[in-house]
Amino acid sequence: MKSFIRRTLDFFSFFLSLWIYLWLALRRILGVKNSTTNWAVLRECGQEPLQFFWFLASIRLFNSMLDSNSETLRRVLKADLYLASFHSSCWSAQVSNAFNGLQSSAMFKQKMLRATQVPMQEFICDLRFRHLKVWREADFSCPRAVNKKAVTYHKWCGSSESGLEVLHFLSPPTCTRIWTNMC
């Protein structure tokens, strides 16, 4: 069990270092400053934020623990799920709290607390919908009325709900350069 946890932690530290190098490489490719926010760089390149993959990996881990051949692992998981109703510091309580804000959060929490599989396809769609909430809110806001960087960036360089580009004559790297020079 200890070797499994050690390998998992090593994987996550390796994964995090890869993401840092990816952010640096994407900034270099786009030709923007290192101080450019990650969400703007990731949006320019059509990438998902790191939190998306972390949450997705934790649900995959939960589902694989349910399917495990190890009876001990399943009992530990069920004990952690039982403990979640008393303490908010256990793993399952934190994952359950992370479901807040999803459209089907009640269903996902219920499936998790009953120790049944969380449907991955529905979860991915719901999670992606939550991550795009920032841009949906920015679509209906005026940059002059709201003092938010996301709104300004979205109006200058983002896509509207209809999918039409706001600035047709600027390429995304040029748009990001304009955005970083405004800050």
Residues in the chain: 183
pLDDT digits (tens, 9 = 90+) for 45-61: 777 777 788 889 999 99
What is the pLDDT at residue 183? 43
Q: Is 70 exceeded by the pLDDT of residue 120? A: yes
Is pLDDT larger for residue 32 or for residue 104? Answer: 104
DSSP code at position 162: T
Burial 47-60 (b: 16+ CB within 10 A, else e): beebebeebbeebe
The residue among 125 and 15 whose pLDDT is bigger is 125
pLDDT score at 157: 63
Q: pLDDT band at 117, cuts 50/70/90?
A: very high
Domain regions of the chain by residue span: 50-131, 133-182
Q: Which pTM does this prediction carry?
A: 0.63
Torsion of CA 131, 136, 164, 182, to 10 degrees: -90
- Distances from the Cα of 1 to the Cα of 14, 78, 81, angstroms: 20, 16, 19
pLDDT score of 8 more than 70: no
Q: How many CB atoms lie within 10 A of CB 117?
A: 13
